[in-house]
Structure 1
Amino acid sequence: MEDALMAGVSALLHWLAIPEVGLGAIFVIAFVSATLLPMGSEPAVFGLVKLQPELFWPAILVATVGNTLGGGLTWWMGLAARQAADRVRHERGHGPELQPGHDTPADHRALRWLQRYGAPACLLSWLPVVGDPLCAVAGWLRLPFWPCLLYMGVGKFLRYLSMTAVLIHVI
């Protein structure tokens, strides 16, 4: 029974790592998972590193670059959404600001928090559920792109490094 379980785990890791394309697959998976699409890249990174331990640092770095660039794309999507909303409001004669009554108090608190901390708040872009929308809101708020991208990269690097290292030692 234990041999069957280990064979199943090995097959799953082999499939997740996609070793035939290796680091290229890691880049694409990490990039796509940093957009607003709900998927995670950690299993693929872990699978590749588990099957090919010599790729630990290259996999961490490639995943970080792909995920950070995906966060940058999400930032640009947020900026584009803001510009489109501003055009629509201007054409309708409503001015550039949000209309009262359309947002909840929680929305205002979150926006004020992000405006208060600015680009360093993008360190939290690695968080599940809120990280990707955080990048989009940073673009919406027109926070400076390059500092946001830098903070995203640092947060995402630390996430990949810590999660992969822990999983390698645990599993």
Structure 2
Amino acid sequence: MAGAAFIAATLLPAQSEIVFVGLLAAKSVAPLALFLVASLANTAGSVANWWLGRLIAHGGVERLPARLRPDPDKLARAQRGFARFGWPSLLFAWLPVLGDPLTFVAGTLNYPLGRFIGLVLLGKAARYGALWAGWTTLA
């Protein structure tokens, strides 16, 4: 679960919800432990995005291969969007497609790491909690 949750939170395309629900269905892991591992590992993946964004903002972009460099116009647009909506947007870091780049942009803007972790963890734990509650209701 930890690996799936971590990778799913990075900029790599992956999903952890299927693994989470599959392990709940298999009843091979205590649900509370599964919830904690998924929430923490998914948050750790977002911290990796934040860290990458911070590195790039501090001149690390030149070290990246050209195909991995963020488009300057798209990055500037994303930064303006984050600046407009601010910290509440980090509660939605769990959203598919939007959440992972959001955590990267927060790093490029040097958003304080402690607050970042708290907000992202809250949103991601709420998502896994909803999945757990939904599974419990249906099962």
Question: Which TM-score band applies after superposition, normalised by the shorter structure?
Answer: 0.7 to 0.9
**Structure 2 residues without counterparts, runs of 5 or longer:** 64-71
1:30-49 equivalences in 2 (<5 Å): 30-49=5-24
What is the aligned length?
131
Q: Secondary structure at the match of 1:132?
A: helix
Counterpart in 2 of 1:60?
35
- Give the Cα separation in 2 of the matches to 1:86 and 1:38: 21
- Give the Cα separation in 2 of the matches to 1:85 and 1:37: 19
Residue 145 of structure 1, aligned match among 113, 116, 122: 113
Counterpart in 2 of 1:118?
86
Counterpart in 2 of 1:103?
73
What's the offset of the Cα at 1:119? Answer: 3.1
- Give the Cα separation in 2 of the matches to 1:87 and 1:42: 35
TM-score by length of 2: 0.82
Matched to 1:82, the amino acid is A
Confirm or deny: 8 A CA contact 1:77 1:136 kept in the other structure: yes
**Structure 1 residues without counterparts, runs of 5 or longer:** 1-25, 89-101
1:8-47 equivalences in 2 (<5 Å): 26-47=1-22
Counterpart in 2 of 1:97?
none
Q: Which structure has the bigger radius of gyration?
A: 1
Matched to 2:128, the amino acid is Y
Q: Secondary structure at the match of 2:48?
A: helix
Superposed CA offset, 1:98-118 (max 9, x none): xxxx626x953x423311343
Q: Is the counterpart of residue 70 in structure 1 residue 45 in structure 2?
A: yes
- Give the Cα separation in 1 of the matches to 2:60 and 2:20: 37
Q: Which has the higher contact order (CA 8 A, sep 6+)?
A: 2
Counterpart in 2 of 1:132?
100
Matched to 1:152, the amino acid is V
